[in-house]
Amino acid sequence: MILRAGAAVGALAVLPLALSSYQVDLLTKMLIFAIFAMSLNLSLGYAGLPSLGHAAYFGVGAYTVGLLAVRVWNNFWVDMACGLVAAAVAAALFGLLALRAEGSYLLMITLALAQVLWGIAFGWRRLTGGDDGLPGIPRPAEGLPLSLADGRRFYYLVLVCFVASVAVLALVTRSPFGRALVGIRESARRMEVLGYDTWRYKYVAFVLAGLFAGLAGNLFVYYNGFVSPAYLSIVFSAAALIMVILGGAGTLLGPVLGSAVIVYLENAVSAYTQRWLLVLGLVYVAVTLFVPEGLVRLLRRRKDQAA
């Protein structure tokens, strides 16, 4: 397994040499959204906590980095660290409120909380630029030995973050903690009488998911050089949800596949029409009808049948 992981990382490392800078940008975006989708997968796929507001933590990370870089101090390490902390704190606070509910009520509360942040970003024009967003955020340079303004160099920063995220999440999901999350998803009552404080497990999963969503948000701000209320919107939350379900909730790499497919589709469709959201909705319907278990499990089953 370690060999295969090494080969995959190697392939991702040499791939940019064979791609145009436009394609490298697309690949960068895929990896950023893969981190975002994987973060949601931890709470949704493993712990069974549905969310329609996961963009909240993505957006908090993004706005923190954006505001700091433009208005305060454009230092990569400081801004990045603050972005991560802000996302985790937001998840820690929202988790206290949201995790009192379950199922579709949890879905509604997470949506409502994210909408509150969206409303603040939209309405507080003097701080956030409102609907116009916050432009002119430079690629990381300050505090680093070399500037990452170049798309290929920036790709490697994203790749490092992506690999680190996969590694950490692989460990977490295989740990006793991660196994307990699956147990809670399958039967919370049973886990309680087996001695697990299920609330605490769900809470930690929720905050960790927020932290990694924040990481994705941080990177996306640098990627786009821009942050707007859309980053906090239900469209972003729903996109992450579709990536997770399309790839396979509760599988480590399903969300990565889901992200690659959705980002590629968005890019391809946008060349022909403005109605990307319509296409995204159709993809969602098709996924729930035809591959409800996700692509990764579908491929695995095909392989088992062939063998």
Partner 1 sequence: MSTLEVQGLGHDFGGLRALDDVTLDVPPGERLAILGPNGAGKTTLFNAITGLLRPARGRIRLHGEDVTRLGPHARAQRGLGRTFQITTLFPDLSVLDSVLLAVQGADPARFALLRPQTAFPHLRARALALLTEWGLAERRNVTTRLLSYGEQRQVELILALAAGSRVLLLDEPTAGLSPAETAQVAATIRRLPRDLTVLFIEHDMDVALDLADRVLVLHQGRVLAGGTPDEIRKDPRVAEIYLGTPHA
Rounded to 5 degrees, what angle do the CA atoms 191, 192, 196 make?
75
To partner 1, the closest distance from the beta carbon of 253 in angstroms equals 17
Cβ-based nearer residue to partner 1, 180 or 261: 180
Cα dihedral: 240, 243, 246, 248 (round 10): -90
Cβ-based nearer residue to partner 1, 174 or 275: 174
Cβ-based nearer residue to partner 1, 150 or 192: 192
Cβ-based nearer residue to partner 1, 179 or 302: 179
Q: How far apart are CA 201 and CA 185, in angstroms?
A: 11
Cβ-based nearer residue to partner 1, 131 or 197: 197
To partner 1, the closest distance from the beta carbon of 167 in angstroms equals 10
To partner 1, the closest distance from the beta carbon of 189 in angstroms equals 6
To partner 1, the closest distance from the beta carbon of 267 in angstroms equals 35
Cβ-based nearer residue to partner 1, 196 or 284: 196
Strand pairing partners for 135?
A: 226
Long-range contacts of 181-186 (CB under 8 A, 24+ apart): 181/42, 181/46, 181/47, 181/48, 181/205, 182/46, 182/250, 184/47, 184/48, 185/46, 185/47, 185/48, 185/250, 186/48
- The residues of the shown chain that bind partner 1, judged by CB under 8 A, are 168, 171-172, 174-180, 182-183, 186-187, 189-198, 204
To partner 1, the closest distance from the beta carbon of 204 in angstroms equals 8
Cβ-based nearer residue to partner 1, 171 or 278: 171
Cβ-based nearer residue to partner 1, 182 or 280: 182
Rounded to 5 degrees, what angle do the CA atoms 268, 274, 275 make?
90
To partner 1, the closest distance from the beta carbon of 191 in angstroms equals 7
CA-based nearest residue to 239, from 216, 266, 219, 217: 266
- Return the exposure string of 248-279: e unless at least 16 CB atoms fall within 10 Å of the residue's CB, then b: bbbbbbbbbbbbbbbbeebeebeeeeeebeeb
**DSSP-assigned states of every residue in 75-134:** -HHHHHHHHHHHHHHHHHHHHHHHTTS-HHHHHHHHHHHHHHHHHHHHH-HHHH-GGG-E
Q: How far apart are CA 277 and CA 238, in angstroms?
A: 10
To partner 1, the closest distance from the beta carbon of 188 in angstroms equals 10
To partner 1, the closest distance from the beta carbon of 94 in angstroms equals 21
SS3 226: strand
